[in-house]
Chains A and B, each alone.
Chain A
């Protein structure tokens, strides 16, 4: 089936999210839509899926104009969508989630899942998925949950499948598996719209690439185009994908972690006997697949974890057992893994977010009295320095884009006198321009002689920034290797293979 969009325009107030967009997906083709966060990709797909109504323009399926007022119209026309945030009920089983909204009943209205189960198993077998229809969604890894979403769309005969940022939540392995799945779908005749800002995936997968910037289609590219070409098309200017890493002087040891163990309340080990050092002027990257103890290790360093054994010393001083506040003030800047949950208070103003950890200090506070004027004045300076784009620093943090949110966190953490920067997944979900900015700041800290501990699941990021790489697997550090290690070797280590 082919899908054609003609002149789709959609505005929200004065903001034109989609400006007469034309797109075409041919039968059995993968069209990648590339664009930064906020470029209008999701708006466009929500229009196709019937969640939003366009101001003007038409949608054609197999050449015929169709009207889509709500998702059920899209489903009837054979358009399925897998959202970035899954639409699954965590306490239901796979099968229950799949029949949701299409429940078949036998006599007396009893729920009948037999047919659905057969169809699901047949479909899963077709695509080589191993899936347990009776497993609860909440017990499944994110990658498998995503397959359930895909199966759900296929169960109801989607011939055109929209995947909205499908790899944002996946590990490298899961990403590779997903790419295989998508190729298999294509070979069986499904047309696919693949929305992403990750250049590597788009290049690996797409038959054609359309680039959207500020609500307009600014061009199309062949998958053979270089990453740099794609990135500058997407951002609208020259982009430096590999940040300049200059040679520099490695200084004395700043962070020394020795025999560190973190357990959960039930005593299960999450981080097991981990030891390493980070010197001033170097970036130690902790690579690994999500969920191998990195989050706990990062949090343990600022004493956010409860059940910790071992030793953490900063600049020669033991800091284990201090409060979080004290740890930060010993000179640690901390970029938490989740901006939304741990990094920012969405309802607070940008200015208030910038003083979350320094609100007790001058010039913001005298005694217990807080000076809003000083807070705002300082925020305006930081906004300028860190290029935080907002109408006013008094606006709530929730009004910012992902990249600007991360800039707020960076501005807050790097404005204190620090010896060590702990950055957990600092570019997750960010667009190319923001990633570039974050990487530059991280390297600037390193070049200023500070120690940087970077936690990342993105191989590209690890290889671009690290001086040394530690790979974490099942709570342990499997190996610490030099940054000129091959991708393959790193991939094997991340999978737990230490030769």
Chain B
């Protein structure tokens, strides 16, 4: 047990230190980009105190917008103050699933840039089943989820098939397939089947309530059962990778395809199966997003979930648990950033600076080791993607 705890702490140390460094540096960026602070440059005392309060306010707003806001709790009880946390989880839910789609591919030695397109196909299919049919509640939501998973698995599986049969590089194929998916959703939202009656902007009919994912904390919170699905998916990915023969083959091909092949593991099968499963995970993300929080398909339903997923998977070191935490962190930064922008003079974009810095430090463990004077920072399982010839 102690060994397991040590291992988790060991692999969380680098992300945690990177996180702290990113916040310190971003603090300087916030202070020095604030016009009010810069005006006081002539009087050092005031300059420092204003800078500190600006940074403090920004980070306080970030916290209040993402975890707990005492103003909301005032008069409504402690629980209402947790409304921001609920929002954080709602944002993080699809990101966990797309993050897993990228992380699983990394484990098989594949770079899945296609979570965005896979997400879109999951969302389209789930939305269609959600608004077009009417079943009993539990059955309906399950069918809608299943539709999202299957269609995105096919979409992802095509990439694997192309790579296995023709050697086409998955990075190029997934980038191109993202474009196709992006334009496909624009087109399909113009068709009479998908365009909501009486609207000209690209929006599909709302999915019927029987296909909604249930709320978990009452009607006041948007928190829905999607997070449970996402956590179950993370557990599933862990189980698959570490406790099944299929995952064993995935990891074997990811770590040394040549040795795996020599030992009789079919690299083609692993490639197709991995990409189909990755598609399924990202598609589940799309389905959950539609059925849990958006309720209607729009042209930009995917937002940045598919691309942030790459950063999330890298931050989580392509491990399921790590990916969950990284997605929660990104969800918190996103939701908190909005509050920060509204309540302080610090813009939302600073969140991007923080994200970028975290990733930068994760990618440069030597730098973190140097700054904190740590000798044995665990870095050997840092996730690196393979080159073009990989």
Contact = CB atoms under 8 A, between A and B. Distances in A.
A368 B256 contact: no
Contact of A356 (B242, B244, B260): B260
A118 B245 CA distance: 61
A302 B255 CA distance: 22
Interface stretch (A238-246, A338-346, A426-434, A454-462): A338-346
B243 A345 contact: no
A347 B247 CA distance: 15
A336 B260 CA distance: 12
Interface in A326-381: 326-329, 334, 336, 341-348, 352, 355-357, 359-360, 364-365, 368-370, 372
B246 A356 contact: no
Contacts of B245: 359-360, 364-365, 368-370
A304 interface: yes
Interface bin, chain A: 20 to 34
B259 A324 contact: no
Nearest to A339: B259
A325 interface: yes
B265 A342 contact: no
Interface bin, chain B: 20 to 34
Contact of A370 (B248, B262, B264, B265): B248
B109 to A, nearest CB: 11
Contacts of B386: none
Contact of B263 (A341, A356, A365, A370): A356
A67 interface: no
A364 B248 CA distance: 11
Interface in B249-278: 249, 251-252, 255-256, 258-266
A415 interface: no
B128 to A, nearest CB: 32
B262 A368 contact: no
A347 B259 CA distance: 12
A187 interface: no
A325 B266 contact: yes
A345 B265 contact: no
A327 B262 CA distance: 11
A147 B255 CA distance: 34
Given A369-B243, A372-B243, A342 B259 contact: yes
Contact of A346 (B248, B251, B255): B255
Contacts of A365: 245
Contacts of B255: 345-348
A370 B243 contact: yes
Nearest to A299: B262
Contacts of B247: 370
Contacts of A344: 256, 259
Nearest to A327: B264
Contacts of A346: 255-256
B264 A368 contact: no
Given A345-B260, A356-B252, A368 B266 contact: no
A357 B244 contact: no
A325 B243 contact: no
A334 B243 contact: no
A364 B249 CA distance: 14
Given A348-B252, A356-B252, A368 B260 contact: no
B259 A356 contact: yes
A352 B264 contact: no
Given A323-B264, A325-B265, A325-B266, A368 B246 contact: yes
Interface string B293-329: 0000000000000000000000000000000000000
A484 to B, nearest CB: 34
A369 B241 CA distance: 11
A304 B247 CA distance: 23
Contacts of B266: 323-325
A359 B247 CA distance: 11
Contact of B261 (A324, A326, A359): A324
Nearest to B243: A370
Interface in A95-113: none
B244 A370 contact: yes
B264 A345 contact: no
11 contacts: A304-B262, A324-B261, A324-B264, A325-B264, A342-B258, A342-B259, A343-B262, A345-B259, A348-B255, A356-B252, A370-B243
6 A-B pairs with the lowest CB-CB distances in the bound complex, closest first: A325-B264, A356-B263, A357-B263, A345-B256, A324-B264, A342-B262
